[in-house]
Structure 1
Amino acid sequence: MTTRTASPPSTASPLLDLQSLVVAVRRRRRLWTLLALVGFVLGAAVAVLKPPPPTAVATVLVQHTADQPNDPGTLIKTDAALLQTTNIAGTALKALGSPDKPEDFIKEYSGTGLTNNLLQITVTAKTETQATARAKALAEAFVADHVARLQQAAEAESKALTEQRDRLKADLDQVNKAITDASQGNAAKTSPNLETLFASRAELTSRITDFGQRAAEARVGTPRLVAGTQIVDAPRLVKASLPKAAATDAAVGLVLGLVMGIALAAVGAVVADRPVLRRDIAANLGASVLTELPRTPRGPLARLQRRRVREARERLTATLARQVRGGEETVCLLELGSARSTAGIALDLAADLRKDQPVLLVDGLPGTQLAKAPKASGTGTGTGTDTTVVRAAQAPDSPEPGQLRLAVGSVAPGTAWTDLQHLGTRAVLVVRAGHGSAAWLHTVARQMAEQRIEVIGVVLIDPDPRDRTDGTLWDGPPAPPRGGGEPPARLNGAAPRLTERQPVWTAAVPDDDSDQEAR
């Protein structure tokens, strides 16, 4: 009889998992910390090795004919733009007798509007004396240019008003002549015409007087604007503080390096797609996380954390020993990105298991990782008289009577998958968080299913300390009802050891059928 259970509906995964991204960026803190430090050092070095050039500033009071109290600063902005013209730059260079080109000189100074009528001129040069002289020449050239434009505008306005007044005077002469001619004729016949002529003469006289006053005001107002436009703050040097410049440049470099490092870490995490959370690793491998082992502490705080790591390693050994002890099938530890840690776990586990019976440890790791592995911590010395270590090529097909067989191997890229069956039919995957990509974890799960190797669970190496996700898969086959005297089902993918053959449940990997069959 075949039972078919429909698989639960798949939920669409988000395009970008922010939690995984944050964890991945935090795990790459060495990268962005290093870049921030490099930016800090480079910023400070630039301030020391390349100090700012000598700088001089001058302040000019600028008067405008259209000054208004509510001016938003457009007039002073126009003056700052006029300061950046080749005309003023050439006049200043000519006054200094410098052979430099105005186009190049423009790049060495700038104008800033402090208020509606105050313009600050900043000039940089090779020496302090040159900076002061150029600032003075620029200020004088700007004042002269501004005064010249005021006078030209006043003269043009006065000339226009005077010409208009002269035209009106010519019209007034014609009106006066008409009045004289009309007065010599018959007064009775010309009375209405005389009234019109007298009205025109009065209007023309008024307009002539108005234009004359406006022309006079245009000429009178110019000296006031010319006298008001002047240098109010003589050119002076700006004293640069080296410590302040170094601190500013170092802070800017630190921020830029930090931002660049975080951006690179984020982009690398998205492109690499290496799962770091328990739930993602368990989902991609199709097996639950049994236990985990934190990173080996280093640095000045290593002694404070060594006890915590040793206790975690002892708990890990005890957990795996319960999975291995009493089983008839060989259990193998398969590493992914954690060969040294897997070798140490295997030695600890062998030292714990040999208390009950002799252990045959089959070494299938590449190189000599098992020989370089750290000795067992708190459970034994790693190898002894009751532990036999052999390479996978020289391992016997079956252990001696009363001897427990334990194997270690690898599922890293380049693994010969068909050789894994010779290591064992039950496996514990020892995976370093953030090492393998999601595609490779799927590959490992598929190969385990195709080789008919039962995955007991996953041991997570170097997990994120702030990871609070659940690494247990709950979508397995339904547990049988518990009866009297029946032992409880073992969790996290470890099936109970029965005498009858149990169905093999394959891992949930891509392109598999959506239905699961149990025969």
Structure 2
Amino acid sequence: MTTNTTSESSASVHLLDLQALVVAVRRRRRLWCSLALVGLLIGAAVAVLRPPAPAAATKVLVAHQADQPNDTGTLIRTDVELLRTTRIADKALQSLKSPERPEDFMKDYRVTGLTNNVLQIEVTGDSDAQAVARAKALADAFVADHVRRMKASAQAEAKALSDQGDRMRHELAGVNKEIGDRSPDSDPKASASIESLFARRAELNSRIADFDQRAEEARMGTPQIIAGTQIVDAPRAVRHSLPRSAATNAAIGLVLGLVLGLAAAAVSTVVADRPVLRREIAANLGASVIAELRRVRRRRVRLWQRRRTRTARERLTATLARTVRGSTEPLSLLELGCAGSTSVIALDLARAMAADGPVVVVDGLPGLRRAHRGQKPGGPDVVGVEAAAAVPHEVRRLGVGSVAPGTAWTGLPDLGTQTVLVVRAGHASAAWLHTVARQLADLLIPVIGVVLIDPDPRDRTDGTLWDGLDTALRGHNERLAREKVTGRRPTERPSWAVRVPDSDQEAR
């Protein structure tokens, strides 16, 4: 007793199937590998055709008046920004006697703070000599500007301290005069006042000495800053290695091309919505995947691949022959994106069926008869669709046709009343697979199963519809056996003929 329980699928439909996306992107490896190769070639070509401009580099040691061991780099960042001003650029251009605008010259050099006291200046030019001259002029202009600013700061500080000391001396002179005007024979109150004046004079003397010392230190600190700010690495031309530059640009181009190719493959996969996995193709066609076969390619294949493909073809032929051997209804093979593979399968199946009696292949494909001309004599006869009506009823027919876009659906029953779909993975969109299933259901042509051509070798999904036994091989043979026992055909539309919606909107 066989129980067929049809339950509604409770699995939620994902907006994006990651497994299918990965498989589809991997199948489009020619696209992203080609873009990666193009990026590599473009990167290498750019390095060769557009070499970097001649450049020179120099390093400058900068001494600051407020240098501290725990400085976070604020002072050197200030120096970097000062070098990027038009004042420094203009001073350098004046020393070079160049008519170039400072704004344009600023675009030709780059300044980097290596440490808290070291600057690196990189300048480009029309030649190595010009680049070296530009770098030297820029470094000299910065050193001169830095020394001038430090001198001005030190002089301003020393002048402020000297002025403060002069004010203190003026006040000290007043205190000394007031002390000199006092009489020694004064009363006790006057004595206390004189003591306060002496204390004030001592304080003023101390402060004057302090201001003088600080002013002297300010003046002495400037020579140290002037001597400490200097060019420590003379300007020199930077040598560019063409092989290294080509390798670097090629690697960058390779990565960018690969990323662009993967992105293009992923976007096109999502937009095209072409099922690749067995599970998706079986669900969209409403029929189980009964066999898989490598795509017939024109290029030469390796010996072990040829042997493996031949074994798979023989196994597929035996499966199809065993399926249709107990049925008197004519069978058709309908291709979708794999006409060459379908022709090969049809001729192999016809030879296998010829052991049970005469077989005629009804050709609905333009290339089948051309492929048959190259076969050995004694094979099955191949006739066109227009000559199918003249075939005797005792001769078994095997139709070969197509369900590609533009198919004349009303002519499919002439090829066979039952069919096996031969579909290439990733060829048709989900909407077209729905259309094929719906048209075949409307024509009352049962789909025995699906032969998947060029499947993904890493696909581990299940292509069997376990809730639709009428479309599986076992269910189909049981139906034929029941028809032979009862001697009649069912008048109602079978379960496999349920209309398949073309879209989610139609399903709702």
TM-score (norm 2): 0.90
Farther off after superposition, 470-479 or 314-323: 470-479
- 8 Å CA contact 1:472–1:492 kept in 2: the answer is no
> Residues 157-168 of structure 1: matches in 2 within 5 Å?
157-168=157-168
C-alpha displacement of 1:36: 0.9
| Equivalent residues of 2:47, 2:246 under 8 A apart | yes
Q: Which residue of 1 aligns with 2:338?
A: 338
Asked if structure 1 preserves the Cα contact closer than 8 Å seen for 2:363 and 2:369, the reply is no
Please list, as runs of the form range in 1=range in 2, the aligned pairs for 1:253-264 lying within 5 A after superposition.
253-264=253-264
Q: Aligned pair in 2 of structure 1 residues 143, 48: CA closer, same or farther (>3 Å)?
A: same
Paired with 1:299 and 1:79, the residues of 2 have a C-alpha distance of 66
1:454 aligns with 2:452: no
Aligned in 2, Cα 1:179/1:23: closer, same or farther, shift over 3 Å?
A: same
Aligned to 1:509: 500
Whether the 8 Å CA contact 2:353–2:359 is kept in 1: the answer is yes
Tell whether 2:399 aligns with 1:401: no
Partners of 2:236 and 2:452 lie apart in 1 by: 67
Instruction: Please tell me whether the aligned partners of residues 292 and 461 of structure 1 are also in contact (alpha carbons under 8 angstroms).
Output: yes
Deviation, 1:248, is 1.4
Q: Give the distance between the partners of 2:435 and 2:165, measured in 1 at CA.
A: 98
1:353 touches 1:359 (CA, 8 Å); kept in 2? yes
Of 387, 390, 408, the match for 2:383: 390
Alpha-carbon offset, residue 183 of structure 1: 4.7
Whole-Å Cα distance in 2 between the matches of residues 260 and 37 of structure 1? 12
Residue equivalent to 1:354: 354
Match of 2:474 among 467, 491, 507: 491
Deviates more, 1:252-261 or 1:10-19: 10-19
Moved more, 249-258 or 9-18: 9-18
SS in 1 for 2:438: helix
Identity %: 62
Quote how far apart the aligned CAs of 1:91 are: 1.1
TM-align CA RMSD: 2.7
Kept in 1: contact 2:470–2:476 (CA 8 A):
no
- 1:174 and 1:295 map into 2 onto residues whose CA distance is 113
CA contact (8 A) 1:348 1:375 kept: no
Larger helix percent: 2
Q: Quickly say closer, same or farther: Cα 1:270–1:102, change in 2 above 3 A.
A: same
Deviates further, 438-447 or 131-140? 438-447
**1:274-320 alpha-carbon deviations (Å, 9 max, x no partner):** 11111111111111101011133576753341111111112111211
Instruction: Name the SS of the counterpart of 1:361 in structure 2.
Output: strand
Displacement after TM superposition at 1:348 (Å): 1.8
Q: Deviations over 1:12-59 (max 9, x none)?
A: 122222211111111000001111111111111111111122121111
What is the rounded CA distance, in whole Å, between the counterparts of 1:374 and 1:257 in structure 2? 44
* Equivalent residue for 1:467, pick from 450, 459, 465: 459
Deviation at 1:67, TM superposition (A): 1.6
Q: Find the counterpart in structure 1 of residue 369 from structure 2.
A: 371
- Whether 2:303 is the aligned partner of 1:310: answer no
CA displacement at 1:181 relative to structure 2: 4.7
Contact 1:359-1:386 within 8 A present in 2 as well:
no
How far the C-alpha of 1:511 sits from its partner, in A, is 8.0
Report the secondary structure of 2:355's partner residue.
coil
Q: Secondary structure at the match of 1:8?
A: coil
TM superposition shift of 1:386: 6.6
Are the aligned partners of 1:47 and 1:245 in contact in 2 as well (CA < 8 Å)?
A: yes
Aligned residue-pair number: 494
User: C-alpha separation between the residues in 2 aligned to 1:511 and 1:439?
Assistant: 6
Structure 1 residues 374 and 250 mapped into 2: Cα distance closer, same or farther (>3 Å)?
A: farther
Shift of 1:445: 1.7
Contact 1:457/1:493 (8 A) holds in 2? no
Q: How does 1:311-330 map to 2 (within 5 A)?
A: 311-330=311-330
Counterpart residue identity of residue 505, structure 1: S
Residue 490 of structure 1 deviates from its aligned partner by 4.1
Secondary structure, counterpart of 1:296 in structure 2: coil
Aligned counterpart, 1:516: none
